[in-house]
Structure 1
Amino acid sequence: MKFNLKQFAIALALFLAGYLTFNTNLFAQALEKPKVSIAVGGKNLFYYLPLTVAEQLGYFKDEGLQVEISDFAGGAKALQAMVGGSADVVSGAYEHTINMQAKNQPIVAFVLQGRAPQIVLAVSNKTMPNYKSVADLKGKKIGVTAPGSSTSIMASFVLAKAGLKPTDVSFIGVGAAAGALSALRSGQIDAIANLDPVISMLEQKNEIKTIADTRTLKDTNAVFGGPMPAATLYAPEAFIKKYPNTTQALTNAMVRALKWIQQAGPSDIIKAVPESYLLGDRALYISAFLKVREAMSPDGIFPDAGPATALRTLQAFEPDLATKKIDLSRTYTNEFAKKANAKHK
């Protein structure tokens, strides 16, 4: 029998195509829940850039997932969506896992997006031109993305360090985009706790004076006294136990996005995000990205000291939390991120 190299090559190609199709289908079947709904509060913010990158570059799809992302005014609203059953997973602040455990509703953060909160607390130069110290904020209105969100948590902590309680001010939900800008510019609020690109837009026109800034690791340590976990993907403990393969697939996509961000240039970021995220100023968006780049986690893994920093922060202005027994080891896991890093080196 005469050996035909061409026929062999064709047969081999057909075999490999069939093998890959079979294994892709097998992989998809291994996902216990291929359709996942994610709630997020302020998707346009750099705080959640890894989520947007994973979505826009097709990383969730590559993992066999069909992800639907719903955007809310702030993280507290996204959390409510998950608790209410309209979302499976939240892209939100790590601190919520601690607060929910205190309410006997265990949720677990399984991949870290940010290792610095990127939140800035600043006063309005329009309504508080004579600002001298944090004490001047007593009785004032502070705009946050949504009451109870990480922006109000950060502001409450800064107030607590100055001897003020959260009830000494009024927290007003202003969202994380154009609404936040107009609230400050129109004088509806006296101070703002928000993130980039919103903060950079206000800084550019000298409309605010910064009180506390957590966009860099150094500044975050200065404010919180240690590493402070920021954005995560978190889900009910029951979801993670029931759908471990789905949770791993979500983590794989997010870690891949984090590693892409580490290597991406500003022009790559601009191409990856929707035009509306730029708030009409492409150059400012790039400048803001370069400021917060180091705040992004390089690998999705929680730092050992991070959860304890978050607990101390919350206890500073939530006295009820000091009496609760919090098991930090149940608020997060690095198990999935470690496996994802082995896959995406």
Structure 2
Amino acid sequence: MSLTRRQLLKLAGAAGAVSAIPGFSIAQTVDKKDVTIAVGGKALIYYLPLSIAELNGYFKDEGLKVEVVDFAGGSRALQAVVGGSADVVSGAFEHPINLQSKGQHYRSFVLQGRAPMIVLGVSKKTVPNYKTPADLKGKKIGVTAPGSSTNMMANFFLAQHGLKPSDVSFIGVGAGAGAITALRTGQIDAIANLDPVISTLVKEDLLNIIADTRTLKDTRTIFGGNMPAATLYTSQNFIDRNPGTTQALANAIVRANKWIQSASADDIAKVVPEQFLLGDPDLYKLALEGNREALSPDGLVPEDGPKTALSALAAFVPDFKPDTIDLSKIWTNEFAEKANQKYPNG
């Protein structure tokens, strides 16, 4: 049946016509209107397209009633969808790869970020004489949540410099004011987090940045290729049962991606809730500009991205066997491509 579905999609795309079979044309009907999306750190710029899609009414325009549930980190959001309390996750691209290694089939279907936007920094207060990564040994590193993409990035950095995860202590600090407080008060010695958290700590001269993935260039240097970041992913079963809903979600995110690229920092700051700004609108706007390149302009996964993510995950997860992973089953650009046809200019 899956082969027939792909054939129909190809035919519909080539002809540019409405398919006679429901659910396979660009003008799809919504199969499931009420959708719960789990996210780990909604206020982060990393997840900005999700927030814009919600705040600008793009989900509603697609005939959806979306509830976004916020968790302390991406790994917690993943647990929500696996446990059945959420339908879809707005989370890191590598999560479906890790799930497949455990026999669970999830697929990314529209991209929000084309670089991780994660920054690793050392506290100037508790590690004032930092010189090399070896100085992290025995230190406490704050991450959004254990097992999250921030944890993975920190582990990847450690491995590149001959250190093991057991050489440090990882502490979950969330993705907002709590993370800032943890570094300010010396509860942690280093932090792997995102903006606006990182920009706030830099402005206060509390942080010495040692690894940065907010630009494509730096990301390629650290990971060795394009590293897809925030994405919407869900179970293959959900996609198979609800292709119209999946398409509607992709439409809303692609529309949000395009709006962000054309909007000014002032425009964006006016739309997001006040708590996203962490009490400093000007700093938030500065952080937006610093991360804009990392936000996806079109929702499409770069072709080399899945392999890069697989390599990063293999360095992060103990006893991970990359040869057992079928990357073709953890992502698709099919829905994002159709969304770009519907919204060529946003």
Normalising by structure 2, we get a TM-score of 0.91
Match of 2:244?
245
Which residue pairs with 1:165 in the alignment?
164
Per the TM alignment, residue 217 of structure 1 is displaced from its structure 2 partner at its CA by 0.6
1:134 is aligned to 133
Counterpart of 2:75?
A: 76
Cα offset, 1:341, TM superposition = 0.3
How far apart are residue 178 of structure 1 and its match? Answer: 0.5
1:190-228: CA deviations, max 9, x gaps? 000000000000001110101100001111111111000
Q: Could you give the per-residue CA deviations for residues 230-286 of structure 1, whole angstroms, max 9, x where no partner exists? A: 000000111011100000000000000000001001111011100110000010000
What do the CA deviations read for 1:153-182 (whole angstroms, capped 9, x no partner)? 000000000111112111100000000000
Give the structure 2 partner of residue 3 of structure 1: none
The runs of 5 or more residues in structure 1 that have no matched partner are 1-26
Matched-pair contact (CA < 8 Å) for 1:115–1:230: yes
User: CA offsets, 1:40-62, max 9 Å, x none?
Assistant: 00000000000000000000000
Kept after mapping to 2: 8 A contact 1:146/1:152: yes
**Map of 1:299 onto structure 2:** 298
2:28–2:247 Cα contact (<8 Å) kept: no
Quote the Cα distance in structure 2 between the aligned partners of 1:172 and 1:216: 26
Q: Does 1:227 align with 2:226?
A: yes
List per-residue Cα deviations over 1:88-147 (Å, max 9, x = no partner): 000000010110000001110000000000000000000000111111111111000000
Partner in structure 2 of residue 121 of structure 1: 120
Report the AA paired with residue 206 of structure 1. D
Post-superposition shift, 1:322?
2.9
Q: Structure 1 residues 110, 28: closer, same or farther in 2, change over 3 A?
A: closer
Q: Which moved more, 1:29-38 or 1:290-299?
A: 29-38
Q: Is the 8 A contact 1:118 1:295 kept in 2?
A: yes
Q: What secondary structure, in the 3-state scheme, does the structure 2 residue paired with 1:332 have?
A: coil
| Cross-structure match for 1:9 | none
Task: Tell me the amino acid that sits aligned with residue 267 of structure 2.
Answer: D
SS in 2 for 1:209: strand
- Whether the 8 Å contact between 2:314 and 2:322 is mirrored in structure 1 is no
Name the aligned partner's letter for residue 200 of structure 1. Answer: S
- Paired residue secondary structure (1:321): coil
Amino acid at match of 1:274: P
Distance 1:77 1:318 in 2: 17
Task: From the superposition, tell whether residues 188 and 268 of structure 1 become closer, same or farther in structure 2 (CA, over 3 Å).
Answer: same
Report 1:75-94 matches (<5 A): 75-94=74-93
- Structure showing greater Rg: 1
C-alpha distance in structure 2 between counterparts of 1:53 and 1:240, whole Å: 23
SS state at 2:142 partner: strand
Aligned pairs for 1:154-303 (under 5 A) are: 154-303=153-302
CA contact (8 A) 2:38 2:81 kept: yes
Q: Is the 8 A contact 1:28 1:34 kept in 2?
A: no
Contact 1:102 1:324 in 2 (8 A): no
Instruction: Work out the CA distance in 1 between the residues paired with 2:308 and 2:132.
Output: 24
**Cα distance, 1:200–1:99 mapped onto 2, change above 3 Å:** same
1:147 is the counterpart of 2:153: no
RMSD of aligned C-alpha atoms?
A: 1.3
Match of 1:317 in 2: 316
Q: In structure 2, give the amino acid aligned to 1:317.
A: F
Aligned residue for 2:102?
103
Deviation at 1:335, TM superposition (A): 0.4
* 2:77 counterpart letter in structure 1: A
Cα deviation, residue 29, structure 1: 9.6
Structure 2 distance, partners of 1:85, 1:37, is 10
Structure 1 Cα separation of the partners of residues 201 and 211 of structure 2: 15
- The more displaced of 317-326 and 260-269 is 317-326
Q: What SS class does the counterpart of residue 342 from structure 1 fall into? A: helix
Hey, what's the Cα distance between the residues in 2 that align with 1:180 and 1:212?
18
C-alpha distance in 2, partners of 1:319/1:28?
Answer: 44
Structure 2 match to 1:23: none
Report the counterpart of residue 15 of structure 1 in structure 2.
none
1:151 partner SS:
helix
Q: Which secondary structure does the structure 2 equivalent of 1:30 belong to?
A: coil
Aligned to 2:38: 39
Post-superposition offset of 1:28: 11
Q: Hey, what's the Cα distance between the residues in 1 that align with 2:41 and 2:186? A: 22
Q: Aligned-pair distance for 1:324?
A: 4.9
Aligned to 1:30: 29
Counterpart contact for 1:41–1:77, Cα < 8 Å: yes
Alignment length (residue pairs): 319
Match of 2:12 in 1: none
